[in-house]
Amino acid sequence: MSKDIERQVEEQAKAWSGIAPPNSTSRDFARGLAETVKGFERARGQLVFENEPSSFEAALQETKERER
Amino acid sequence: MTAIKEYAALTRLTLIHASDAVRKGETTSVALTKAALEAFKVGDTTVNASIALDPEEALETAEGLDKLRKVGRLLGPLHGVPLAHKDMYYRAGKPCTCGSKIRGVFRPAYTATAIKRLEEAGSITVGSLNMAEFAQNPTGHNAHFGDCHNPWHVDHCTGGSSSGSGAAVAARFIYGALGSDTGGSIRLPASMCGVTGIKGTQTRVSRFGAMPLSFSADNVSPLARTARYCARLMRIIAGHDPSDPTSSTEPVSDYEAALDGDVRGLRIGIPNNFFFDGVDPEVWTAFDVAMNVLESRGAMTVRLEVPHMDDISTYASVVSRVEGATIHAQWMRERPEDYSVHLAGRLYAGYAIPAVHYVEALSRRGPILRALGKDVFAKVDVFATPTIRMKVPTLAATDIDAGAPGAIEAFGAISANTRAINYMGLPSVSVPCGFDSKGLPIGFQIQGRPFAEAKVLKVADAYQRDTNWHERAPTLDV
C-alpha cells in the first residue's frame, strides 16, 4: 500500500499539476496519505445527495449562540 | 541599569493597565514603546520572536499619540499600547515575509483590516513577528529566519504557526499580538508558551490583508496574557468588513463586559472520545484540576460523546492541505527549493488528493456541525479539552528537515485537538493551566457554539480569577 500510494501521488501530482517530488521527505508525506484514504473508506455512505459546501454557512447560523 | 529596570516594570504591566496608565497620564506611549523595543533588544537574541522591528516609525507614532492625549483626545481603548503581529499581516508599503524566502521582498500595497482596526483604536505596531513558513507548521521551526524558541525553555518548541506571537507575549516583550489559526496556530503557541489565545468563529474577523493559507479554515485572532486582554483585542477586530465579503454580519457583543466571573450553573462538556486518546498523564492531571477550579465556581461538568470525530479528523486534514497546495502550486512548480524541506513535502502530498474527497470534506461540514448542535450544545454550554495531548516537545525531536525520527507523525499529533475545532468552525480559547515536570506550560481549550466568543472568554476569565498561571513569567537566560 505505502509504495503504491507513493507512486500514485507522484503520478497524480505530475499529471495534474506538473509538480515533481521536491525532496525525499515529500515521499514520507505521500505515504502518510494512506491513513487519510482509510479515513475516507470509513466515512463512505455518510455523504447524502443533498449535502453541499454552502450548508456550512447555514449551519453556523442554525447552531449559533442566541441571547437568553 | 535604572532605565532597564524602568523598562522592565513597564513591560510587566498588563495590556489594560498599560492602556489605563497612558490614559491617566501616568506614563506615555513613548515610554511604553521604548520599553517594548528594549525588551526585544535584550531578550530576543535568545527567543528569536521577531522578524523585523520598526523603531523609528513606532516612536514617531507614539509621539503623535502622546500629543493627542495631551489635548484630551484618545483614539480608542488601545491608545498608546505597543503591539506586534505575526509577519503575515499586510501593511501598505512594509515588507511582509510570511516567514518565507519566497515572499522575502514582498511589499503589499494595502493594509490588513485587523491591523487597521487595532491602529485606529490607538495601538502602535512596533514590528512583525516570527512564524512558521507560510503559517504551515505547528512547532515554530523556521529555516529562513531561524527557529523561534520557547521562553520557558529555549530547547523546546513555541508551538506554531504563530510562534513569535506566543513567545513575544510570554516573554513580556509585548502586551498582545495577532496570530492566525487554521489548524491551531494561535492555540498551540498559546498553550506551549503559557499565554491565552482565542480563535474566533469562522468568518468572525475579516481576513482582508491577511496571508491566505486555507480559505475554509483561516482565522484572524489575538494572543495576550489573559482572556480579558484577548476580549479587548477581539472586540476591536471582530465584525463585518466590506473588503472581505466572507466576514460575518453577525453583531459583535461587548466581550469584556461579559466577563463577570459568574459560571454558576454553566454546563461544561468533557468529551469521552477522541480528545483524550493517548494524552500525557501530566496534561490530563492539569486538565482535571482546571475543571475542578471551574466546578468550585459553580460550573457543572458533563461527560459526553462528540459525534463524528474520526470523520472530522480525516476531513480537517484534507481541507487545509488541498487549499494550501492550490495556492502554492505555481511556486511549487517554479521554485520548490525555496521552501523548507517539511513544507515542500507537506504541500506536495496535497496535489494527489482527489477533488471528490475535498468536496466531500467541505460538504459534510454543515451536517456535522448540526449534529454537534444537537448532540453536544443541546446538553452543554461549552466543551473543554486539553489544547495539546502531549507535553511541549523539543525543537530537535520535531525537526523534520533534520530527519528527526517520528517528527512527521508528531506534527499531526500536536494539532489533533485544535485542527478538529477549525473544521467545525467553533470559537475556541486556549488557557494556561499549569506546568509539566520540566517547567513547560500546559493549556486547555474551551469551545462554544458559533459566535459564542463572549461565553468562551467568560469561562476562561472565570478560571483565571482563581488561578495565577497567566501571571507567571519566564526568566530569560540572556
Going residue by residue through chain B, which has 478 residues, state the pLDDT in tens, using 9 for 90 and above.
Answer: 466 677 889 999 999 999 999 999 999 999 999 999 999 999 999 999 999 999 999 999 999 999 999 999 999 999 999 999 999 999 999 999 999 999 999 999 999 999 999 999 999 999 999 999 999 999 999 999 999 999 999 999 999 999 999 999 999 999 999 999 999 999 999 999 999 999 999 999 999 999 999 999 999 999 999 999 999 999 999 999 999 999 999 999 999 999 999 999 999 999 999 999 999 999 999 999 999 999 999 999 999 999 999 999 999 999 999 999 999 999 999 999 999 999 999 999 999 999 999 999 999 999 999 999 999 999 999 999 999 999 999 999 999 999 999 999 999 999 999 999 999 999 999 999 999 999 999 999 999 999 999 999 999 999 999 999 999 999 986 5
The side-by-side arrangement of strands in the sheet containing B220-224 is B176-180, B220-224, B196-199, B428-435, B441-448, B382-386, B267-271, B300-304
Would you list which residues of chain A are within 8 Å, Cβ to Cβ, of chain B?
8-9, 12-13, 16-23, 25-30, 32-33, 36, 39-40, 42-43, 46-48, 51-65
Q: Scanning every residue of chain A, which has its alpha carbon at the shortest distance from the alpha carbon of B374?
A: A63
Q: Residue B37 is placed in which grid cell?
A: 523595543
Half-sphere exposure of B99 (CA within 13 A, CB side): 37
> What ipTM goes with this model?
0.95
C-alpha of B251 from chain center:
23
Strand ranges, E, within B157-287? 176-180, 196-199, 220-224, 267-271
Inspect the interface and report whether the beta carbons of A63 and B370 lie closer than 8 Å.
yes
Q: What is the pLDDT of residue A54?
A: 87
Dist CA B454 CA B76 (whole Å): 20
Closest alpha carbon within chain A to B401: A25
pLDDT of residue B71: 96
Is 0.95 surpassed by the pTM of this model? Answer: yes
**Amino acid identity at B422:** N
CB of B331 closer than 8 Å to CB of A23 = no
How many Cα atoms within 13 Å fall on the side-chain side of residue B289? 15
B369 contacts on A by Cβ (under 8 Å):
56, 59-60, 63
Copy the grid coordinates of residue B150: 520557547
Q: How far is B397 from chain A (nearest CA, A)?
A: 16
pLDDT at A67: 66
Specify the pLDDT at position B184: 98
Distance CA B365, CA B268 (A): 23
Q: Is B314 on the interface with A (CB under 8 A)?
A: yes
Give the distance from residue B88's alpha carbon to the nearest chain A alpha carbon, in angstroms. Answer: 24
Residues of B in contact with A20 (CB under 8 A): 336
B303 C-beta neighbours (distance < 10 Å), count = 9
Task: Compute the nearest-CA separation of A34 from chain B (Å).
Answer: 11
Q: Is B222 helix (H, G, I), strand (E, B) or coil?
A: strand
Sheet holding B50-53, edge to edge: B50-53, B124-129, B82-86
Q: Does B280 touch chain A (CB under 8 A)?
A: no
pLDDT at B440: 98
Contact flag A22-B337 (C-beta cutoff 8 Å)? yes
The catalytic residue positions of B are 86, 161, 185
CA B209/CA B199 separation, integer angstroms? 18
The answer to whether residues B174 and B36 touch, using CB atoms and an 8 Å cutoff, is yes
Nearest Cα residue in chain B from A43:
B311
Q: Pick from B381, B344, B368, B459: which is nearest to B421 by CA?
A: B368
- CB contacts of B341 in chain A (<8 Å) are 23, 25
Instruction: Give the amino acid at B124.
Output: I
Write down the pLDDT at residue A68.
53
Backbone dihedral angles phi then psi of residue B230, each to the nearest 5 degrees: -60, -40
How many Cβ contacts (< 8 angstroms) between chains A and B? Answer: 151
pLDDT in tens, A7-43: 999 999 999 999 999 999 999 999 999 999 999 999 9
Determine how many CB atoms are found less than 10 A away from the CB of residue B74.
16
Interchain pair A17, B332: CB under 8 A = yes
- The answer, yes or no, to whether the previous bond of B206 is cis (omega within 30 of 0) is no
Considering only the beta carbons, identify the residue of A13, A56, A63 that sits closest to B348. A13
CB within 8 Å of B192: residues ≥ 6 apart:
B140, B150, B156, B157, B158, B159, B166, B388, B392, B440, B441, B443
B455: amino acid identity, one letter: K
pLDDT at B7: 85
